[in-house]
Amino acid sequence: MQRRAFLASVGIAGGALAAGCAPRSNPTYPIQTGELFEGIGPYPSGVGSGDPTPDSVLLWTRAHPERDTGQGLLLTTEVSTSPQFGVGQIIAELPALATAQRDHCVTINVTGLQPATTYWYRFRYDGLTSPTGRTRTSPIGGVDRLRLAAFSCQRYTHGFYTAHSDLAGLAEDPSTDLDLVLCLGDYVYETGYADRVYIPGR
């Protein structure tokens, strides 16, 4: 193939590719804003934990930036052996600075924990307390049983995620409680621009 013919064919293909990536002409469904999309007060992304070892676990949250006057927000991370966080139950109180450079996210590595043990944790600053999270350290050596659960795509506008509710409900019963929950990542969508994003009826 001659150079001129090759460049011409590439130009045609490129035009087709660009057209395929262009926004769709058909209208999209509007997203209804409101409480459905509101975060949890001063901790808009909730809390999370991960990377458990027999004696440590990572804890995470994001503080709302509106209270930051430029110096960051000093959070206290509390870890407890009980969800009540009563006297004698809090085993760790660790500082964490949430700054704009990290989008006011903090990650704390809590060490000195017991293996195969459930802990509860929360974050506090300016008298504002986060939702309480629950985490569990991994066991040492071999175990007779290990309960795992997995989830992947969370395309919020297209589902009610009752499976997530059921997953959380398993923790209410010791006979069905889980040792580890795995997030397998998100799908690579083959659909076009916005895929007609909608909420009503999902």
pLDDT value of residue 196? 59
Per-residue pLDDT of 143-191, as tens digits, reads 888 889 888 876 666 666 777 888 888 888 888 888 888 888 776 666 6
Identity of the residue numbered 4 = R
* Of 184, 189, 190, the residue nearest 152 (C-alpha): 184
The full set of domains in the chain, from first to last, is 1-30+145-202 (no CATH), 35-141 (2.60.40.380)
H or E element at residue 6: helix 3-21
Q: Span 35-63, mean pLDDT? A: 85
